[in-house]
């Protein structure tokens, strides 16, 4: 297992391997999900925004079976940050969302948690996989970025080659058993003339977080400084841009830190699972 150990922030790790940014010239947008997963399995790392156009991306959290019901209940009670796309059987590492994929190897980078503490960020989790792990695949806002782009909405983090910024908010999720914690949001600066389109297009995709939870002043979510995201990278807005916030699938990682289950595996923030599903499968109109 190739791994690095970092703090709990989701900034791009410093590695000696190849990153997605280094391969932008290879037109990652045109990769199939299968091609992308093969590259990740071979060691490619980095944010997956802008990869495999038109295909659904997913957050991953795997917890021991005796925590799985509470995780499912937590997701049901908090559907904006945690829209469930699939749940595996205990110990399984496959999903109908990508039948030939291996959830232990086919993400760019993972996080391993013990008692709420981040202990490693490996590029595979084969060596730490357990027979009692139940995996949840949760919709990701990278999915709706394709429809935003088609609607003419600029994506500053993609333009700047950065991970999307993510923030821990003052909004508390509805607890479920032992699980509790704050909502995490992703932020995209949107020009005023594109705000209506951004809200409309994302609201039609509730399975990947749907419409924004907040637009405008960050203090409304308890965010003090947009230049200091808890996860991901800060982005540079244009002068008239409005900060727009969507519920984020990194929320379960904040919940892991707050609730301290004995063990968990997640994706690294911004480094998602590429499914074979098409975006239009989740569009409600």
Report, as an integer, the average pLDDT of 136-161.
92
Tokens of 180: 């509790």
How confident is the model at residue 29, as a pLDDT? Answer: 84
Token pair 């021991």 in the structure block, residue: 64
Quote the radius of gyration of the chain (alpha carbons, Å): 17
* Strand partners for 138: 59, 84
Report, as an integer, the average pLDDT of 191-206.
96
Q: Is 223 a residue whose pLDDT tops 70?
A: yes
Report, as an integer, the average pLDDT of 188-203.
97
Q: Is 135 a residue whose pLDDT tops 70?
A: yes
Contact 167, 221 (CB under 8 A): yes
Closest C-alpha among 272, 133, 135, 134 to residue 209: 272
Q: Is 7 a residue whose pLDDT tops 60?
A: no
Closest C-alpha among 208, 172, 185, 178 to residue 71: 178
How confident is the model at residue 267, as a pLDDT? Answer: 98
Q: Is 83 a residue whose pLDDT tops 60?
A: yes
How confident is the model at residue 161, as a pLDDT? Answer: 87
On the 0-12 / 13-18 / 19+ scale of CB atoms within 10 A, 41 is middle
How confident is the model at residue 20, as a pLDDT? Answer: 58
CB atoms within 10 A of CB 43: 13
Name which residue leads in pLDDT, 191 or 146.
Answer: 191
Closest C-alpha among 31, 50, 28, 77 to residue 179: 77
Length of the chain measured in residues: 285
Report, as an integer, the average pLDDT of 230-248.
96
pLDDT in tens, 23-38: 444 578 889 999 999 9
Separation of first and last alpha carbons in the chain? 43
Report d(CA 183, CA 80) in Å as an integer: 9
Q: Where are the alpha helices (DSSP H) in 42-163?
A: 65-77, 145-150, 156-159
At residue 157, what are phi and psi to the nearest 5 degrees? -65, -35
Residue 18 — very low, low, confident or very high, per pLDDT cuts 50/70/90? low
Domains along the sequence of the chain with CATH: 3-8+16-135+259-282 (3.40.1640.10), 145-247 (3.30.2040.10)
What is 196-213 written as a DSSP string?
HHHHHHHHT-GGGT-S-S
Q: Is 186 a residue whose pLDDT tops 50?
A: yes
CB atoms within 10 A of CB 118: 20
| CA distances, 44 to each of 19, 28, 107 (Å) | 5, 12, 9
Name which residue leads in pLDDT, 91 or 1.
Answer: 91
Q: Is 235 a residue whose pLDDT tops 80?
A: yes
Q: pTM of the prediction?
A: 0.89
Q: Is 21 a residue whose pLDDT tops 70?
A: no
Q: Is 167 a residue whose pLDDT tops 50?
A: yes
Q: What is the mean pLDDT of the chain?
A: 91
């Amino acid at each position: 297992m190739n791994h690095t150990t970092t703090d709990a922030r989701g900034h791009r790790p410093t590695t000696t391997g190849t990153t997605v940014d280094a391969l932008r010239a290879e037109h990652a947008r045109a990769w199939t999900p299968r091609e992308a997963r093969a590259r990740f399995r071979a060691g490619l790392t980095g944010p997956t925004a802008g990869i495999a156009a038109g295909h659904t991306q997913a957050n991953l959290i795997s917890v021991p079976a005796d925590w799985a019901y509470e995780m499912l209940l937590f997701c049901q009670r908090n559907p904006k940050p945690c829209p469930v796309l699939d749940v595996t059987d205990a110990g399984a590492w496959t999903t109908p969302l990508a039948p030939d994929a291996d959830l232990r190897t086919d993400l760019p980078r993972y996080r391993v948690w013990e008692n709420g503490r981040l202990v490693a960020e490996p590029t595979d989790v084969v060596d730490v996989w357990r027979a009692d792990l139940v995996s949840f695949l949760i919709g990701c806002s990278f999915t709706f970025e394709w429809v935003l782009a088609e609607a003419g909405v600029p994506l500053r983090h993609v333009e700047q080659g950065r991970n999307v910024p993510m923030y821990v908010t003052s909004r508390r999720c509805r607890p479920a058993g032992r699980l509790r914690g704050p909502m995490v949001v992703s932020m995209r600066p949107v020009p005023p003339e594109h705000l209506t389109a951004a809200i409309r297009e994302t609201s039609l995709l509730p399975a990947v977080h749907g419409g924004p939870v907040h637009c405008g002043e960050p203090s409304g979510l308890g965010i003090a400084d947009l230049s200091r995201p808890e996860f991901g990278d800060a982005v540079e807005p244009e002068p008239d841009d409005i900060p727009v916030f969507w519920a984020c699938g990194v929320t379960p990682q904040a919940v892991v830190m707050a609730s301290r289950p004995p063990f968990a595996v997640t994706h690294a923030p911004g480094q998602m699972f590429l499914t074979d599903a098409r975006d239009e499968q989740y569009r409600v109109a």
